[in-house]
Amino acid sequence: MAKAPAKTKAPVHAPKRAPAKAPPTAPLKTPPKASPKPPLQPHPSHHPAGGGQMGEADETMVPAVAADALSIRDMRLARDGHRKRRAAPARNPLREGLRLERVPDPHTMVIFGATGDLSHRKVFPALAQLWRTNLLPADWMLVAVGRRPYDDDSFREEIGRSLDQWSRVPLEPEAERQFLERIVYHRGDFADDAAFDGLTKRLIEIDHAHGMPGNYLFYLATQPSAFGTIVGQLGRSGLDHERHGAGWRRIVIEKPFGRDLDSAKRLNREVGKVFRESQVYRIDHYLGKETVRNLLVFRFSNGIFEPLWNRRYVDHVQITVAESIGVEERGAFYEETGATRDVLQNHLLQLVSLVAMEPPATFDADALRDEKVKVLRAIDPFTRSSVEQNVVRGQYGPGWVAAQPVKGYREEDDVDPLSETETYIAARLQVDDWRWSGVPFYLRTGKRLPKRASEIAIQFSGVPHRLFADTVTDPQPNLLAIRIQPDEGILLRFGSKVPGLGMEIRTVNMDFTYGSAFSVDAPDAYETLILDSMLGDASLFTRADEVEAAWSIASPILDAWIDEPAPTLPNYAAGTWGPEAADALIERDGRRWRRI
Ligand SMILES: NC(=O)c1ccc[n+]([C@@H]2O[C@H](COP(=O)([O-])OP(=O)(O)OC[C@H]3O[C@@H](n4cnc5c(N)ncnc54)[C@H](OP(=O)(O)O)[C@@H]3O)[C@@H](O)[C@H]2O)c1
């Protein structure tokens, strides 16, 4: 086993400045002097003596005295040439006033499945971005667990290559070197007790070598069949115990959490035997997306929408998660999964619960999740006959996407040529509570659709009296579209008079886009979620009862399909918006899928 690298004494990141404090208010009538700049300070979390304290980091921080600290008198004197005006520091005004981010406690993260696809493409690049932006503590180590025969150096080289390929923003060579230095490789099989005994020993060595308090974050980036084994091994080794003074222990579990309701319950029981629920972080990476998180802000920090957010004003809701890609190299995985397990049970139902939930009393993780669970429980459970009426499945055949010919699903690698796995699902749900009774929620997701686009559309009801029915164009009812990806933003559609002497009405859009409003790149969902798990904030993770409530909706669909013969498959061509039966599903109610 290779040794952990010696502790780096020098600050591991470029030192970050301390937030500029407003200069003390000058007494009235005393013009403020051109105050000397306070010295720049290293980031609190990277202070050589810094240990367990929480630090703060913010990219909008400004050096020393900000431009707005100048008095009007100062500026007038500067204009008149009496005094030299100080150079204004660069500042992104669009990020002013945003909360300063916290830095997690010192800890060791352990990734099980560190040699796998997800770790390479998402987890390590996300960690590297957190490192780059000084959001990881200075005392942070990572133990990568896998079966392949790496040692520390060869694994670091491998991750370096992955970062070159997958990093959202490339790291400075020195920052990358320091990041990689924090990673050690531990080889072992999950079934092997000795591998976990060795891991325990190694974690203790790291704690001693780095003066760490024994905080461990376990990340399960493995195939779901290994989750139970790893949890059992962590329990056997005592690595779950948050003994007095021994720091915290948390476990992040990748999706999918179970294959159906029974297996999800079984897995919850296995996890619950070892970890308390407050230690468990079940990932649905959709919840880490910036626009999804903004949905909460949009709904609950604006007074004007919430009064309209109910059955009195909303005609129906459409939620679309469309992918233009096929199954790529993951044919074997997809054969076992399909669109219902892959997207409907988690991402789509999470979006439904965020759209339909009541405002929580507080913004803590449990208050938020209590309200989401209530929505899932209020959804009319599917029966065999309601599945037949309200759910459509599909599978793509050959076709064209982005002007390129593409294979049908059954011709993809590692896919059964007679496969009945669904690559598309559309469903009509009813949230049967006071707020939403009678408002249908139409959900759809599929692969090889014409474009990659995820959107929540709140279709408001039309006006009660059509005052302008005789005009050339009748106004359309209002629509609010929340774009989750790409071009993250929010669009409000309303009618407007066309300029001129007549009374022509046209539908126009008021369009907010994240990119242009804030001029910063949104973090990747994995950056957000990993940081939250390090900070102990479980708001964006799925709770045990929530995951079971979601499976209670998805499982009856899968059960009904076991007995019911599949429709003739494939039933939609790649590059189209899904099977005709999905159009019929919504058109039966006198509505149409929104063109995205
Ligand atoms: N890939 C994605 O895009 C993606 C997206 C969302 C969610 N996920 C979820 O993320 C998880 C991982 O997916 P993945 O695609 O990264 O899987 P993967 O490429 O098959 O990786 C599996 C990892 O588990 C390790 N492993 C498997 N059995 C082991 C054993 N008995 N002992 C020790 N290590 C073992 C493998 O180690 P060796 O290779 O060293 O043997 C490898 O590191 C799954 O739950 C998946 O559903 C993946």
Q: Is the CB of 118 under 6 A from ligand 1?
A: yes
Q: What is the mean pLDDT of the chain?
A: 84
Token pair belonging to 25: 């208010």
Residue-wise pLDDT tens digits, 87-125: 343 454 444 444 456 789 999 999 999 999 999 999 999
What pLDDT, on a 0 to 100 scale, did the predictor assign at position 56?
A: 37
Residue-wise pLDDT tens digits, 571-587: 999 999 999 999 999 99
Q: Among 30-34, 402-406, 424-428, 564-568, which stretch is predicted with the lowest mean pLDDT?
A: 30-34
Angle 266-267-268 from CA coordinates, rounded to 5°: 90
Ligand 1 probe mutation, 111, 148, 158, 223, most atoms within 8 A of CB: 223
Instruction: Please check the confidence at residue 7 and state whether its pLDDT lies above 70.
Output: no
Domains and CATH numbers, the chain: 23-32+41-87 (no CATH), 104-254 (3.40.50.720), 288-462+541-587 (3.30.360.10)
Nearest Cα residue to atom 38 of ligand 1 = 147
Concatenated DSSP letters of 432-498: -STTTTT-EEEEEEESS-SS-EEEEEEEEPPPSS-TTTTSSSPPPPPEEEEEEESS-EEEEEEEEEP
Report d(CA 302, CA 65) in Å as an integer. 33
Q: What backbone phi and psi angles, to 5 degrees, belong to 520?
A: -135, 150
User: Are the C-beta atoms of 129 and 523 separated by less than 8 Å?
Assistant: yes
What pLDDT, on a 0 to 100 scale, did the predictor assign at position 101?
A: 62
Non-local (6+) Cβ contacts of 432 within 8 A are: 378, 379, 380
Q: Is the CB of 253 under 6 A from ligand 1?
A: no
- Tell me the three state secondary structure of residue 116: coil
Q: Is the CB of 221 under 6 A from ligand 1?
A: yes
**Catalytic: 347?**
yes
Q: Is the CB of 147 under 6 A from ligand 1?
A: yes
114 Cα: distance to centroid of ligand 1 (angstroms): 8
Report d(CA 305, CA 249) in Å as an integer. 40
Most confident of 70-84, 360-374, 466-480: 360-374
Q: Is the CB of 288 under 6 A from ligand 1?
A: no
Q: Is the CB of 338 under 6 A from ligand 1?
A: no
23 Cα: distance to centroid of ligand 1 (angstroms): 52
Amino acid sitting at position 297: V
Residue 502's pLDDT band (boundaries 50, 70, 90)? Answer: confident
In the DSSP assignment, the letter for residue 309 is S
Q: Is the CB of 222 under 6 A from ligand 1?
A: yes
Q: Among 18-27, 363-372, 534-543, which stretch is predicted with the lowest mean pLDDT?
A: 18-27
Angle 399-402-406 from CA coordinates, rounded to 5°: 30
221 Cα: distance to centroid of ligand 1 (angstroms): 5
Q: Is the CB of 226 under 6 A from ligand 1?
A: yes
What pLDDT, on a 0 to 100 scale, did the predictor assign at position 55?
A: 36
Ligand 1 probe mutation, 111, 118, 185, most atoms within 8 A of CB: 118
In the DSSP assignment, the letter for residue 431 is B
Atom in ligand 1 nearest the alpha carbon of residue 147: 40
Q: Is the dihedral angle over the CA atoms 191, 194, 197, 199 positive or is it negative?
A: negative
Nearest to 289 by CA among 490, 125, 130, 527: 527
Q: Which of 46, 107, 186, 347 is catalytic?
A: 347
Residue-wise pLDDT tens digits, 511-563: 998 888 887 778 899 999 999 999 999 999 999 999 999 999 999 999 999 98
62 Cα: distance to centroid of ligand 1 (angstroms): 42
129 CA to centre of own chain: 15
What pLDDT, on a 0 to 100 scale, did the predictor assign at position 417?
A: 97
Instruction: Please check the confidence at residue 227 and state whether its pLDDT lies above 60.
Output: yes
Residue-wise pLDDT tens digits, 156-196: 999 999 999 999 999 999 999 999 999 999 999 999 999 99
Q: Is the dihedral angle over the CA atoms 169, 295, 372, 427 positive or is it negative?
A: negative
Report d(CA 446, CA 294) in Å as an integer. 24
116 Cα: distance to centroid of ligand 1 (angstroms): 5
In the DSSP assignment, the letter for residue 24 is P
Residue 565's pLDDT band (boundaries 50, 70, 90)? Answer: confident
Report d(CA 13, CA 336) in Å as an integer. 43
Atom in ligand 1 nearest the alpha carbon of residue 227: 45
